[in-house]
Amino acid sequence: MNKNNYCVIMAGGIGSRFWPMSRTSYPKQFIDILGTGRTLIQQTYDRLQRIAPKENILVVTNEDYRELVLQQCEEMNPSQVLCEPTRRNTAPCIAYASYKIKALNPDANVLVAPADHLILKEDKFIESVNVALDYVSNNDALLTLGIEPSRPDTGYGYIQFDSTDKKSRVKKVKTFTEKPNIELAKQFVESGEFSWNSGMFIWSNKSILKAFENNLSEVNSLFVDGFSKLNTPDEENFIKDTYAVCKSISIDYGIMEKAPNVYVISADIGWSDLGTWGSIYTHLKHDENLNATIGKNVMMYESQNCIVSMPKEKLVVLQGLDGYIVVESNNTLLICKKEDEQKIKEFVTDIRIEKGEKFV
């Protein structure tokens, strides 16, 4: 395995769309949300050990989740867990990890991946990442891992690429488009020139640091000024001071949509960002009435198209439901129409206002 390969796992999100199973104190990346026996971050950590030596895998997370990371990724050294004092979106997170890696290995090539994505075709994922790592080791390129779209989905961002080069799997990116309407999504898929944006990135560490310098100088300068403090006892205070003044901005908006050397490698890897209960539903086994259940004692009568998640010890009997999400967790019960699941974030906001932090 190449000792210059590094992986960065982004694990700082709060997963509010998976309430009540996901809570601020225990978000979805630390939950076995599919009932596989491994949490999402554990599955990600296992997968990435096929790409980089385990000592070259870093996790960037909120300082509130430091112990959860170390409990679930038992082989990880505490120095591999980079703690953010507050959330500042993906660009500061990646800048922190990139300068940390620069101090460890200036010749590093890096994969950046969220902690909470599902990848069913792991062999294809590994093969695609290795092709990408080989490319960025020989070219000044910022790669994003694109997903070959299987349908005109309005829940994902889209990447348009130059399709004239039929030989190379690595394509020059032309445009990024945030979640389109259904008519535009259909045009994208039919054109054959678009991939879904997975939020996974591959680059040499030198290339991403140069991109920060050229496109996000206000973020970059903060980390340059304190570079000598990384991997020393002064690192924690430096990061707290830095995040207090650092702008909140995504890597997509801050760099990927501006840099001239952005490429995409597309693949069918059985991917889902598991962003909603509806996305979970598509990956669970369905009964003859298209109900998907998590829990050993769920009984369904005259019900169809539902997703039900219950504690394994609880007996639940449901009758007459069509297209509902039914979830019990943390002494809280949610019953919501599947078509209205985007309202769950609104529910959480209202609960925080009316009931305080106890239930969120």
Query: Is 193 among the domain residues?
Result: yes
Residue 280: predicted pLDDT: 87
- Assign 246 a pLDDT band (cuts: 50, 70, 90): very high
pLDDT at residue 36 greater than cutoff 90: no
Residue 228: predicted pLDDT: 95
One domain for residues 261 and 289: no
One domain for residues 267 and 304: no
Q: How far lies 154's CA from each of 130, 144, 149, 201, in Å?
A: 29, 19, 11, 22
CATH number at residue 160: 3.90.550.10
Q: How far apart are CA 305 and CA 45, in angstroms?
A: 33
One domain for residues 262 and 294: no
C-alpha radius of gyration, the chain, whole number: 21
Report the candidate in 9, 202, 12, 7 with the shortest Cα–Cα distance to residue 101.
7
Residue 275: predicted pLDDT: 81
- Host H or E run for residue 66: helix 66-72
Other Cβ atoms closer than 10 A to 170? 19
Q: How far apart are CA 107 and CA 207, in angstroms?
A: 10
One domain for residues 295 and 180: no
One domain for residues 182 and 298: no
Query: Is 280 among the domain residues?
Result: no
Mean pLDDT on 192-200: 94
pLDDT at residue 16 greater than cutoff 90: no
Task: Please report, as a single letter, which amino acid is at residue 340.
Answer: D
Among residues 248, 272, 296, which one ends one of the domains? 272
Among residues 244, 272, 300, which one ends one of the domains? 272
One domain for residues 290 and 248: no
Among residues 272, 301, 328, which one ends one of the domains? 272
Residue 241: predicted pLDDT: 96
- Cα first-last separation, the chain: 42
Total domains in the fold of the chain: 2
Residue 42: predicted pLDDT: 98
Query: Is 251 among the domain residues?
Result: yes
One domain for residues 252 and 298: no
One domain for residues 48 and 184: yes
Query: Is 360 among the domain residues?
Result: no
One domain for residues 308 and 209: no
One domain for residues 215 and 333: no
Residue 308: predicted pLDDT: 96
Mean pLDDT on 266-271: 93
Residue 17: predicted pLDDT: 82
Window from 9-18, 77-86, 136-145, 210-219 with minimum mean pLDDT: 9-18
Query: Is 277 among the domain residues?
Result: no
One domain for residues 213 and 334: no
One domain for residues 268 and 293: no
Estimate to the nearest angstrom the gap between the alpha carbon of 242 and the chain centroid: 24
Condensed to tens digits (0 to 9), the pLDDT of residues 305-326 reads: 999 999 988 999 999 999 999 9
Query: Which domain does 343 fall in, by range?
Result: 285-355
pLDDT at residue 15 greater than cutoff 80: no
Q: Pseudo-torsion of CA 272, 274, 275, 280, nearest 10°?
A: 120
pLDDT at residue 34 greater than cutoff 90: no
- Assign 33 a pLDDT band (cuts: 50, 70, 90): confident
Window from 62-71, 260-269, 280-289 with minimum mean pLDDT: 280-289
Query: Is 196 among the domain residues?
Result: yes
